[in-house]
Amino acid sequence: MITVPDDFGAILGEEALPWRATLPALATKFCARWRLTPDGDLLNGNVAVVLPVRRADGHPAVLKLTWQDAETRQEPLALQKWGGEGVVRLLDHDDEHGALLLERLDHTRSLIDAPLEEALAVTGGLLRRLRVPAGPEFRRHEPDDLVEENAGLDRPVPGGFVEQAGELGRELTASAGNTLVNEDLHYENVLRGDREPWLMIDPKPLSGDREFGVIPLLWNRFGEMDGERGLRDRFAALCDIGELDVERARAWTFYRAVDNWMWSLGLDLADAAAACEAIARTLRP
């Protein structure tokens, strides 16, 4: 049925190898269960494979098989909550196996290649539109001990940044709201659709403040910004279009920038670390 690329799942480590080996059988299983016919080459991201298919009535769709962890497990629930408003439509799912049947979008056209003004208008609009109550079933953000994490890495991030971010993270988490948030909304995860010009895919849902979701829209396409001024302008545009609380967005963005600055350094991701450092220094409350 499918041939999984040799390097797929490398980011997940050895614990994902048994799951990876089951993917051809899972694809066969769900094509039979949902009466699907393969209709294109297998696609993959870091934690999921996607097979273009046709349903029994001939309509196009995709079968997505996802590695399940805290970030991905509630994707079907979130898609149901949003109900296709600005997001890809969920057609069926199986929680036990991480299988999702989704409407088909154009994976060759995303906001990563759209003019930046349009990309900001669309993603800012999504930040505004997708503000439905999350409910108690969704996970909430739990702040890391940034001081301990920095010490474990031999303190590559200045202590003042780490201590301030850690304090803000605890304060923000304690007072966070209950809105359904996609913590990984970025330009590559918004694809061209038919029902709407652009539709969001692959959410990493949690319950909290909408302002928590700003930072991926700053580090994605980071190289297109004109220094500190460009970063401030993009942040301001997202807050304005998204109807966000500016100071809360600044605080969450600073906290997440410092957290991801350390995470990137720990994995030797120099470009990502540099972007997060620039965000933290520019938007430090």
Q: Where residue 267 sits, what CATH number does that domain have?
A: 3.90.1200.10
Domain span at 275: 109-283
Whether residue 186 is found in the same domain as residue 86: no
State the DSSP string of 107-127.
EEEETTSS-HHHHHHHHHHHH
Distances, alpha carbon 252 to alpha carbons 84, 173, 174, 234, in Å = 27, 9, 13, 16
Whether residue 97 is found in the same domain as residue 122: no
Give the percent of the chain with pLDDT over 90.
Answer: 92
Whether residue 192 is found in the same domain as residue 274: yes
**Distance of alpha carbon 110 from the chain centroid:** 14
Report the pLDDT value the prediction gives residue 200, as an integer from 0 to 100. 98
Residue 205 covered by a domain: yes
Whether residue 129 is found in the same domain as residue 218: yes
Residue 12 has pLDDT above 90, yes or no: no
Burial 75-107 (b: 16+ CB within 10 A, else e): bbbbbebbebebbbbbbbbbeeebbbbbbbbee
Residue 62 covered by a domain: yes
The domain boundary, picked from 104, 132, 159, lies at 104
SS3 14: helix
pLDDT (tens digit per residue) in 260-279? 999 999 999 999 999 999 99
What's the N-to-C CA distance of the chain in angstroms? 53
Of 39, 94, 144, 184, the catalytic one is 184
Whether residue 175 is found in the same domain as residue 217: yes
Whether residue 271 is found in the same domain as residue 146: yes
Relative to beta strand 60-66, strand 99-103 is: antiparallel
Whether residue 22 is found in the same domain as residue 140: no
Report the pLDDT value the prediction gives residue 39, as an integer from 0 to 100. 94
pLDDT (tens digit per residue) in 168-208? 999 999 999 999 999 999 999 999 999 999 999 999 999 99
Whether residue 162 is found in the same domain as residue 259: yes
What global pTM score does this model have? 0.95
- Is 92 assigned a catalytic role? no
What is the number of domains present in the chain? 2
Residue 1 has pLDDT above 90, yes or no: no
The residue-averaged pLDDT of 201-218 equals 98
Sign of CA dihedral 95, 97, 102, 107: positive
pLDDT (tens digit per residue) in 110-165? 999 999 999 999 999 999 999 999 989 999 999 989 999 999 999 999 999 999 99
Whether residue 230 is found in the same domain as residue 121: yes
Q: What is the token pair recorded at 107?
A: 């994976």
Whether residue 197 is found in the same domain as residue 234: yes
The domain boundary, picked from 104, 133, 155, lies at 104
Residue 5 covered by a domain: no
Mean pLDDT taken over the chain = 96
Whether residue 240 is found in the same domain as residue 127: yes
Banded model confidence at residue 8, pLDDT cuts 50, 70, 90 = confident
Distance CA 68, CA 71 (A): 8
Whether residue 65 is found in the same domain as residue 174: no
SS3 6: coil
Residue 4 covered by a domain: no
Banded model confidence at residue 47, pLDDT cuts 50, 70, 90 = very high
The domain boundary, picked from 104, 125, 154, lies at 104
CATH code for the domain in which residue 35 is found: 3.30.200.20
Coarse DSSP helix, strand, coil percentages of the chain, rounded to the nearest 5 percent: 45, 20, 35
